[in-house]
Amino acid sequence: MDRPGLLDSWYSRLRMTEAVQELSRRKGTDTRERILDVAEAAVLEKGFAATSIDELVAAVSITKSGFFYHFRDKGELAKALLARYIERENDLFDDLFRRADELNEDPLHGFLVGLKMMSEMFADLPNGHPGCLIASFCYQDRLFDKEIRQLNASAVLGWRKRFRERLELIASRYPTPHSRRSRRCRRYVIGDRRRRNHSVESSE
């Protein structure tokens, strides 16, 4: 075989190998996602403790070794479940309030429209939203290690940050006497604290 023919043959085998690897990667990703989908539905229905690896293996039609290829243990499955849920929920809220903001330039009206859209989504449970995995993990908090509990807590704190930022934006657009008093009080407390810290440092 001449040199160009050898190169063509080598290139064809390389492309075939890459195609097989890509197919294998996609299949592995699909299997992992199927495990997570089935596990999430089971956890939302009956809790994490009552969800067994055996039932997940049976539902996804894989072997136990197939499960452990994707997840080292049930704890790793819990972490992957929660991380995926938080990411999807953040994307959902970002999209929901983005659409609400596009309908209203006023931050108050945009926030109210967003809440209305959210209530309609929750009213259609489990179709519009399957349920709250974060709440489910909270109910069985002692089943999980520190890392998973911190991840769950960060999701709740993320909700608070999201809504606080919106409420502060509304407050800046619609200041009230109460909000002005609150700011004056906050400045006074911070200033008093600084004065006390300074006096302590001076005495030392």
Inform me whether the pLDDT recorded for 184 exceeds 90. Answer: no
Helices (H), 73-145: 74-103, 107-123, 133-139
6 domain residue, yes or no: yes
Are residues 98 and 19 both part of a single domain? no
pLDDT at 72: 95
The count of domains in the chain is: 2
Verify that 48 and 78 share a domain, yes or no. Answer: no
Q: What are 132-170's pLDDT values in tens digits?
A: 899 999 999 899 999 999 999 999 999 999 999 999 999
| Residue 115 Cα distances to 21, 95, 119, 151, angstroms | 45, 13, 6, 25
pTM, 2 dp: 0.70
Q: What is the pLDDT of residues 40-59, one digit of tens each?
A: 999 998 999 999 999 999 99
Same domain, 14 and 35: yes
Question: What integer is the mean pLDDT of 173-200?
Answer: 58
The stretch 118-144 carries a mean pLDDT of 83
Last residue of some domain: 71, 86, 112?
71
pLDDT at residue 18, as a whole number: 47
Residue 181: pLDDT over 70 = no
* 8 and 92 assigned to the same domain: no
47, 113: one domain: no
* Banded model confidence at residue 131, pLDDT cuts 50, 70, 90: confident
Q: Are residues 177 and 134 in the same domain?
A: yes
Q: Is residue 123 part of a domain?
A: yes
Q: Tell me what percent of the residues of the chain surpass a pLDDT of 90.
A: 58
Indicate whether 58 and 151 sit together in one domain: no
How far is it, in rounded angstroms, from Cα 129 to Cα 29?
Answer: 23
Q: Which two tokens stand for residue 139?
A: 């109910």
Q: What pLDDT, in 10s, does the model give residues 26-37?
A: 555 799 999 999
Q: Based on the fold, state whether residues 12 and 62 are members of the same structural domain.
A: yes
Residues 67 and 111 in one domain: no
Distance in angstroms (rounded) separating the CA atoms of residues 42 and 52: 9
Angle at 69 between CA 66 and CA 70, to 5 degrees: 100
Last residue of a domain, one of 20, 42, 71: 71
* CA nearest to 72, candidates 84, 60, 64, 82: 64
Q: Which domain holds residue 17?
A: 1-71
Is residue 66 domain-shared with residue 79, that is, in the same domain? Answer: no
Same-domain status, 64 and 157: no
* SS3 (DSSP) at 98: helix
Residues 80 and 64 in one domain: no
Kindly give, in sequence order, each residue whose CB lies less than 8 Å from that of residue 179, ignoring residues fewer than 6 positions away.
171
Q: Quick: pLDDT tens for 69-116.
A: 999 999 999 999 999 999 999 999 999 999 999 988 899 999 999 999
Q: Give the whole-angstrom CA distance, residue 72 versus residue 70.
A: 7
Residues counted in the chain: 204
pLDDT at 14: 47
Q: Which of the pair, 161 or 15, is modelled with greater confidence?
A: 161
